Amino acid sequence: MDPNLLFWKSQGQSLLSRLHIWFNLLDPTSLLSSDAEIKNAHRLLGSGQKLNEKDGRAQTLSLSSVHADSGTVLPLIFRPPALMPISAPLVVASLLPHSSVKPALFWQLLLHSYSAGFNYANRNSSSEEQSNNRSLKQLLLIAGTVSYATCAGALPQIFINRLGVRSAPIQTLFRSILPVPLSAVLAFFNVYIVRSGESETGIQVFDTNGTPVGLSKAAGNKAVRETALSRAALFGTTAAVPNLLVLLLQRTRLFERSALLAAPVRHISVALVLGMMIPVSFSLFPQLGTIKKDNVEEELRAAADGGQLYYHRGL
């Protein structure tokens, strides 16, 4: 078992402990570290030596920058600490009340392209064999997911333009209410389709000693479902809270006098909610998940001596 997974096995089994860990891991300054520093940090974490306070930086680098299945350094823009600075402007722009369909499609395309790349880079790759056929299938899945999500995400603007909506209540429905469930559903869809291979081929499961015992489709399906739900919570909440806040503030005297205040309040609140929800969504489910003996394939049950097996959920 990878040193990162061994860490999560011992430290990240409660929601509060995971939340505390993720607040530390999402420090954007770790993005400035070189690949050599990250590899050394991962090697140190796996050495079995007792880490002191000085080595805490190495632990953070390894957990935030190294893929727990392959042991390779994650691409810079798809590391967890990069999610906030890169996705924040994309999410803000995608939730803007655009005047036409083209800018809506453009920002939805950028957002879902980055989301698909992040989901793919942080998947569970324990069962993968490099082949041209698999790479082509995965490329088509990602392209199809991004295309569908882009068009679906721009539907509110498409409806407004095509139907020529001028009524304020109907515009509020399309611009402030419909994007909330739409954002959650599309975030779930993006993860579920991009990582669908894990449900089809299975992922590596481990016994209580950290020894690999085989591939489980049930564990793969559970890992993908949990990650998809956490991403739906992230983007659904990020769309809901700012819209609700702006709708409430528009009833106040200050906003009635200065309608232009709504835009900066919306932008700032989207960024703030996204920043707070990223560690929360990452913490909803353990990085090293467990699956009960009765829920895995029959040939793997004998290895579940503790009544359960472990799997890497991905991110």
Per-residue model confidence (pLDDT) at position 109: 97
Task: Report pTM.
Answer: 0.92
Average pLDDT, the chain: 89
* Cβ(274)–Cβ(87) below 8 Å: yes
Residue 311 belongs to what H/E stretch? Answer: strand 308-312
The answer to whether residue 52 scores a pLDDT higher than 70 is no
Tokens of 233: 């919570």
> In this structure, are residues 218 and 289 in contact, taking their beta carbons and an 8 Å threshold?
no
pLDDT at 169: 83
pLDDT higher than 60, residue 132 = no
pLDDT tens track for 242-269: 989 888 887 787 777 776 777 888 899 9
CA distance 51 to 59: 8
- Answer whether residue 207 shows pLDDT above 70: yes
Is the distance from CB of 287 to CB of 12 less than 8 angstroms?
yes
CB atoms closer than 10 angstroms to residue 100? 10
pLDDT in tens, 6-44: 899 888 778 999 999 999 999 999 999 999 999 998 888
